[in-house]
Structure 1
């Protein structure tokens, strides 16, 4: 079955690329993917599988039932884009102003559709079920995964697999890691209020900018002095809204920030220390504050046994396009695939997609692009795992 599956996918490579280019030209933002969802649903319209639409919003679940008893494997691909104006100059660049597939989700959907089609054609050759999760809204909290889970997309599912293409990894490389693989995330917005006044008379005011500046500097002591040196965490203040006249002391400023951690305990500790610093700031500077703190995507933890299965199956597979299979370091970004991994033993791994000339831009960059040869590799890698999982 596996060899036949890989051969069929090779024959369909041009269709994978065609679908990717169509999706790339027609991106939609998180929670607004109405047309993309219709496109995906239409793809399955004449195929021998059960399709559920509007799962957790615009999500689509396609269940491929072999008709034979066995386990159920879910495979996931996301399909939302980002609020970025594309600067690639590609002939199939985004036609939607200010919206771009700058993370590779167009490629995820393209390879998954053709893989699903091929599995449907060959479903009499495997056992159990394969559940294809087409997920919206990975990029924007609370994310699309949690809504799909609430609507039952994992009912009866034993394990979940996911792939992300990576422009920063050479094409031909596949990377995996067991355990904590991507950070958990939190965000905060805090308004610090003092008392406004004239720049010539600071003694008659209470400068919110000075207090907020002290807070920003003190935040980094949480990482350097409150975390165990072997723990991983970061705090970034990405927005400081203190604009005003040069000779006016601001009465209030608003800060917005980002938190990342590799364990839930670390994420909890950082939140506790941020609140403690703000309490101290209020006493030290005589200010008041309003804090909106939100924990969203949890730490993504790959199941050890399933990851061992993934690594072994990929290493034993005969995929000419794959040059290297390696155990990688944890990745700094966060990923709402983590919600699936909290519910079922799961594995999320990476497929290199660096352009052939070696010139690449990181994910979420206006010039981001992928080597489309990576899409066949992704389809074959996931197809290999489905074949081994459903036959062994």
Structure 2
């Protein structure tokens, strides 16, 4: 028996909307940090069990996977949601604000999990209409490298998967829009640590010191030459110093400065070349001023690169379900996401669901202590997942 997906799936999503919002609020009120999502994963496991028709497993300590095996053989589609929160003290005052001091869902992962629960609930009731398999991946630890996605992949959650999709609620986009990007979408977020060792002394007698602050300041400035003068202007590269620590008081030149930051890029060859270029700059400047240095570089998640064919199905879904005006063909951004680990195993698409609402004051950026979402966006995410599932498995 075939179903009228345009009408019935929309209706089912609308009927499930309040439950999805309730799940999101429960998760928002009870956030847990990366690799510590014990209660969150148990809540997900128990909720999935109540649906029926699902094979539920725990591939890692705090992740959950549910498999919906359809009535007929076919492709296997994986849909992913992340569930971890951030070490931020929430400043929102609504009734479902975080009850865990210093921990907050400040990035929308509570909504991602709620949307995937809603999708699983609806599709589990349509088992007889499914051709193939839908695999629901509830992932831990997206926010903290080395990330939960790689752990789940190593545990075999992508074995036999033909394609994978996921979404991010995105406050910079107004609710009602769905953002789609072809090809490179999010960058590889790498991390570096630099220590500049000089010789401390009295601030009134700088000639008797090797001023670590003056040397480190030159390091920071000259690192930007890698972007502006050593990299093809058509290649995307960001080098950001985000922490500069040195000194204890106004009249002491410190002997050491610590620098911390991130590098973002899309191209694998460019990415591999950056550590040597950075260390060359650091070595040259410190040697020129008789200082010494320590340099550490850590490669983070791979860049998220959407498959054109899978992305075309998401674009078509948005046009058909929500109309041309809902589609936002976006540019890539330099954020990072470990969804890329799943895409190493199967072609996929990661897209955005607009969650901002300027009229309601829902404008705070991700990772802000006042971040929240327009909860009407949750229904849009569920509808997109539902319609895309039937398109992919048809």
2: CA distance between counterparts of 1:35 and 1:20?
14
CA contact (8 A) 1:57 1:148 kept: no
Counterpart in the other structure of 2:85: 81
Counterpart in the other structure of 2:125: 121
* Structure 1 stretches of 4+ moved >4 Å: none
Counterpart in the other structure of 2:376: 373
1: CA distance between counterparts of 2:193 and 2:209?
24
Counterpart in the other structure of 1:64: 68
Counterpart in the other structure of 1:238: 242
Counterpart in the other structure of 2:55: 50
Counterpart in the other structure of 1:316: 320
Counterpart in the other structure of 2:387: 384
- Cα deviation for residue 7 of structure 1 reads 1.3
CA contact (8 A) 2:33 2:141 kept: yes
2: CA distance between counterparts of 1:346 and 1:281?
44
Alignment CA distance shift 1:229-1:358 (3 Å):
farther
Counterpart in the other structure of 1:335: 337
The reply to whether residue 161 of structure 1 matches residue 189 of structure 2 is no
Task: State the TM-score, normalizing by the size of structure 2.
Answer: 0.95
Counterpart in the other structure of 1:10: 14
SS at match of 1:102: coil
Alignment CA distance shift 1:171-1:197 (3 Å):
same
CA contact (8 A) 1:56 1:149 kept: no
- Cα deviation for residue 323 of structure 1 reads 4.5
Question: Per-residue displacement from partner, 1:9-46 (whole Å, max 9, x unpaired)?
Answer: 11111101111111111111111111101100111224
Question: Per-residue displacement from partner, 1:341-366 (whole Å, max 9, x unpaired)?
Answer: 22210100111111261531111111
Counterpart in the other structure of 1:272: 276
Counterpart in the other structure of 2:349: 347
Counterpart in the other structure of 2:226: 222
- Cα deviation for residue 246 of structure 1 reads 2.1
- Cα deviation for residue 75 of structure 1 reads 0.2
Counterpart in the other structure of 1:294: 298
Counterpart in the other structure of 1:204: 208
- Cα deviation for residue 387 of structure 1 reads 1.3
**Is the deviation greater in 28-37 or in 278-287?**
278-287
Question: Per-residue displacement from partner, 1:74-100 (whole Å, max 9, x unpaired)?
Answer: 000001111111112111111111111
The reply to whether residue 176 of structure 1 matches residue 172 of structure 2 is no
2:287 pairs with one of 276, 283, 286: 283
2: CA distance between counterparts of 1:184 and 1:89?
35
Where in structure 1 are there 5+ consecutive unaligned residues? Answer: none
Task: State the TM-score, normalizing by the size of structure 1.
Answer: 0.96
- Cα deviation for residue 168 of structure 1 reads 1.1
Counterpart in the other structure of 1:142: 146
Give the aligned CA root-mean-square deviation in angstroms.
1.5
SS at match of 1:12: helix
Question: Per-residue displacement from partner, 1:207-256 (whole Å, max 9, x unpaired)?
Answer: 11111111011111111101111111111111111031322221111111
2: CA distance between counterparts of 1:117 and 1:323?
29
SS at match of 1:48: coil
The reply to whether residue 37 of structure 1 matches residue 41 of structure 2 is yes
Question: Per-residue displacement from partner, 1:167-204 (whole Å, max 9, x unpaired)?
Answer: 11111111101100111111111111112222333333
CA contact (8 A) 2:318 2:326 kept: no
Alignment CA distance shift 1:49-1:366 (3 Å):
same
Where in structure 2 are there 5+ consecutive unaligned residues? Answer: none
CA contact (8 A) 1:83 1:98 kept: yes
Question: Per-residue displacement from partner, 1:296-327 (whole Å, max 9, x unpaired)?
Answer: 0111100011111221233223x48x851131
